[in-house]
Structures are given as C-alpha cells and as structure tokens.
Structure 1
Amino acid sequence: MSKRRQAVLLTLASVELALTATAVADLAFRPRDDVRGRKGLWWAGILVQPFGPIAYLLWGRRRPRA
C-alpha cells in the first residue's frame, strides 16, 4: 500500500474512532429524556460503522430546552 493510501486510511480511521468515542460518551452520560428513541437501540446503532455514530450525533439527541 502506498504512503498516501496509508495516510488516508489512518485519517479516516481516526475520524471514525473520534466520532464513535464522542457518540458513546454522549449517550452514556445523557439523561434518557434527552435522547430521541430508546437508548438501547442507539447503543446498537452506534456499532453500525460509520453511519451509526453520525446518525446518533445528528438525530439521536434532543436539543437543550431554552
């Protein structure tokens, strides 16, 4: 594998890991009432890479009430 492909792969893997870690931490500490849908389903959804963490971060969280 060329150096360029290795760099691209490492970058994409790092982004995926960061998104997954962010989604897991958020879901673990977010109250149940602030999650759209059931938390158990979101835990399973986060494992669907790379779309699960992105979906949770975009649509799984309720916005804070003003």
Structure 2
Amino acid sequence: METKRKFQDLPPGGKIAVASAAIAELTLMVAALRDLHKRPAEQVKGPKPAWAAASMINFLGPIAYFAFGRRK
C-alpha cells in the first residue's frame, strides 16, 4: 500500500507548481468576492449570496462568476 505524499516530499518544481496554483486560486476567489461585494445587485445575474458561495469552489466558481454572473 502506498503512503500519502507530503508537501515536504515533493521536488522543488512540484512545490512551486502547488504554491502557484494555490496563489492563483486565492487571487481569483478574492477578486470575485471583491467584485461581487462592490457591484450593485442589479448588475449581478442571480442572487449575490449564491454567487458568493459559488466563488468558494476551486477555480470554477470565480471563473463562472466572471463569465456568467455579471451584467455588462
């Protein structure tokens, strides 16, 4: 049976990749939540609480909000 790999066990390139993905995900989430907070409800397609919850879902939530959740 294979044991779980720890972050410490990753090669340097793997650590950089994981850290970069985490930073990108957090940046997208914060940007989506900030935009949602500042945008009036009339300019959001659907309920703002639902988009806030969706923005917490990995990369897909914030990308979906920016692609489909805002009125132009």
Whether these two folds match at TM > 0.5 is yes
- Could you tell me how far 1:58 is from its partner in structure 2? 1.1
Unpaired segments ≥5 residues, structure 1: none
Q: How many residues align?
A: 63
Percent of matched pairs sharing the same residue: 35
- Normalising to structure 1: TM-score of the pair? 0.90
TM-score w.r.t. the length of structure 2 is 0.83
- What per-residue deviation string (whole Å, max 9, x for no partner) do you get for residues 16-45 of structure 1? 011001001000010000001111111111
Q: Which has the larger radius of gyration?
A: 2
- Superposition RMSD in Å: 0.7
1:31: which partner in 2?
Answer: 40
Partner of 1:12: 21
Q: Aligned residue for 1:60? A: 69
Q: Which runs of 4+ in 1 moved over 4 A?
A: none
